[in-house]
């Protein structure tokens, strides 16, 4: 037994088992816990009490920045910093600036979305106690896990273990920090 364990991990065979167990853990009032699933499970967010992701806020910011960058860049380059008269056309018009601004909107949104997702998920992560668990390869293959952290105020080695067992958890084990 490790001196300061990270938490308890339990395995479940099917998404259905995991779903019902997650509801029980949520209802028991735990906050610092997580499920590990090889693929996203439809509806698991509700079962875990996870709020809607805030990634779209990053995307919106990125998109607005991209569009404004495009418009102001084209105005500044072609109508302010170095004016070039071509075919008697206006030096700036939002119409000809639109296609490029549109592409930059998409480009910046993509970077902001992915950057936001990485930031919220804490990626790149060099180390995580869960990755040291010897059966963790099954979490990216065919099995489902619940991890409850010791940092949770409600964590109690015996009660938490009993809760996981009652919820149908198999092979309940302690994770080293």
Partner 1 sequence: MSHASEHSAPAILNEVKATSLPRAKMVDNDRDFAWITDKICGIVEGKTPSWWWWCFAVACFMACFTVAGITYVVATGVGVWGHRSPVNWSWPIVNFVFWIGIGHAGTLISAILCLLRQKWRTSINRAAEAMTIFAVVCAGIFPVFHVGRVWYAWFLFPIPNYNNIWPQFRSPLEWDVFAVSTYGTVSVLFWYVGLLPDLATLRDRFALAGRETRAKIYGFFALGWRSSARAWSNYEMAYLILAGIATPLVLSVHTIVSFDFAVSLIPGWHTTIFPPYFVAGAIFSGFGMVLTLMLPLRAIYKLEDLITQYHIDCMCKITLATGTMVGYAYAMEFFIAWYSGNPYEGFTFINRAFGPYAWAYWIMISCNVITPQFFWFKAVRNNTTFVWVLSLFVNLGMWFERFVIICTSLTRDFLPSSWGYLSPTVIDIFTFFGTFGVFSVLFLLFIRFLPLMAMAEIKGVTPQADAFNGHKNPHA
Q: Is 102 in the site for partner 1 (CB under 8 A)?
A: yes
Q: Is 107 in the site for partner 1 (CB under 8 A)?
A: yes
Contact 62, 111 (CB under 8 A): yes
Measured CA to CA, the distance from residue 62 to residue 134 in angstroms comes to 40
Q: Which of 130, 150, 161, 168: binder of partner 1 (CB under 8 A)? A: 130
Q: What are phi and psi of 174, to 5 degrees?
A: -95, 140
Q: Which of 27, 31, 56, 151: binder of partner 1 (CB under 8 A)? A: 56
Measured CA to CA, the distance from residue 25 to residue 53 in angstroms comes to 21
Q: CA-CA distances (angstroms) from residue 122 to 85, 118, 119, 126? A: 49, 6, 5, 10
What is the rounded end-to-end Cα distance, in angstroms, of the chain? 11
Q: Is 113 in the site for partner 1 (CB under 8 A)?
A: yes
Q: Which of 4, 141, 153, 158: binder of partner 1 (CB under 8 A)? A: 141
Site string for partner 1, 32-51 (x = CB under 8 A): --xxxxxxxxxxxxxxx-x-
What is the distance of C-alpha 63 from the center of its chain? 19
**Looking at 2-10, 124-132, 151-159, 160-168, which segment touches partner 1 (CB under 8 A)?**
124-132
Q: Which of 27, 31, 142, 171: binder of partner 1 (CB under 8 A)? A: 142
Q: Is 94 in the site for partner 1 (CB under 8 A)?
A: no
Q: What are phi and psi of 87, to 5 degrees?
A: 55, 30
Q: Which of 72, 121, 156, 159: binder of partner 1 (CB under 8 A)? A: 121
Q: Which of 27, 137, 156, 177: binder of partner 1 (CB under 8 A)? A: 137
């Amino acid at each position: 037994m490790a001196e300061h364990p990270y938490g308890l991990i339990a395995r479940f065979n099917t998404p259905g088992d995991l779903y019902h167990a997650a509801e029980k853990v949520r209802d028991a009032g735990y906050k610092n816990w997580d499920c590990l699933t090889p693929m996203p499970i439809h509806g698991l967010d509700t079962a875990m009490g996870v709020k809607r992701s805030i990634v779209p806020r990053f995307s919106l910011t990125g998109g607005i920045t991209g569009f404004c960058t495009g418009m102001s860049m084209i105005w500044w380059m072609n109508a302010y910093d170095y004016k070039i008269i071509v075919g008697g056309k206006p030096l700036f018009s939002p119409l000809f600036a639109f296609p490029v601004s549109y592409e930059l909107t998409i480009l910046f949104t993509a970077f902001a979305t992915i950057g936001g997702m990485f930031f919220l998920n804490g990626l790149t992560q060099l180390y995580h106690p869960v990755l040291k668990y010897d059966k963790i390869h099954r979490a990216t293959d065919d099995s489902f896990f619940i991890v409850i952290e010791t940092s949770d105020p409600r964590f109690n080695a015996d009660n938490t273990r009993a809760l996981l067992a009652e919820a149908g958890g198999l092979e309940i084990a302690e994770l080293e920090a």
